[in-house]
Amino acid sequence: RRPGGATVVTLAMAAGPPPQLEPRTVPTFSEEGFGEKFLRKTRENPLVPLGCLCTAGALTYGLISFQRGHTRRSQLMMRARILAQGFTFVALLGGMVVTALKPRP
C-alpha cells in the first residue's frame, strides 16, 4: 500500500487504458531447397567445396594407386588428402569468422 490508502493497481487504473500497440510485422521466408541452399553457400564461401573436391580426388587417386600396387604414390596421395582436409577445415573456419563479423542488416 502507498501512503494515503491507494494501491499501485488503483493508481494504474486511474491513469486510463494502456496505449495501443502497433501490430508487429513478422518476416516471411520462402522455403529453400537443397540446390538453392548449396549454391548460396558455395557463393558465400567457394573454398570449402573446392577443398572437398580436392580431398575426394586425392583419396580416390590414392586408393586406386594402392589397389594397383603403387605404394609410394598411394602414400603421397594420402598425405595430399590430409593437406586438402586441413585446407578445407581452415576455409570453413575462415568463412564462419567472416560471417560472424558481417554487420547485420
In this predicted structure, what is the pLDDT of residue 12?
A: 59
Give the chain as a 3 state SS string: CCCCCCCHHHHHHHCCCCCCCCCCCCCCCCCCCHHHHHHHHHHHCCHHHHHHHHHHHHHHHHHHHHHHCCHHHHHHHHHHHHHHHHHHHHHHHHHHHHHHHCCCC
67 occurs within a structural domain: no
Residue 50 lies in a domain: no
Q: Is 83 part of any domain?
A: yes
Domain count, the chain: 1
Share of the chain above pLDDT 90, in %: 48
Examine residue 84 and state whether it is found in any structural domain, yes or no.
yes
Q: Is residue 80 part of a domain?
A: yes
Q: Is residue 14 part of a domain?
A: no
Mean pLDDT of the chain: 85
Give the global pTM.
Answer: 0.64
42: in domain = no
Residue 92 domain boundaries: 76-104
Tens-digit pLDDT profile for residues 19-50: 777 777 777 777 888 989 889 888 888 999 99
